[in-house]
Amino acid sequence: KVESIPEKFFLYAEISGIVLLQDDVDNIIQRQAQRDGLVLAKDIVKEIQEEEVKYCEQLFLKYNILYNAIDNSCDYIQFCEIVDRM
């Protein structure tokens, strides 16, 4: 089970936007195996990514906290543009 950051944190910290780093499930599994020696099932990784997006959608609807999902193809300039829009 993945724990979400409590909603109160976003309010108290006055977070104006969230950037989700998402990637291909196979890439995530490979990197995690190399880093942690832990191999998660594809369906679990996919579910985690879906839950992250759902949580961001909830935060947007409740508190108008913007979010944007990026992957590792996002370069520095693109990242800065995304953050500036938040």
Residues shown for the chain: 86
Mind listing the pLDDT tens digit for each residue in 2-43? 788 999 999 999 998 999 999 999 999 999 899 988 888 999
- The DSSP call for residue 73 is T
pLDDT at 72 over 90: no
Tokens of 22: 């998402």
The pLDDT value recorded for residue 86 is 87
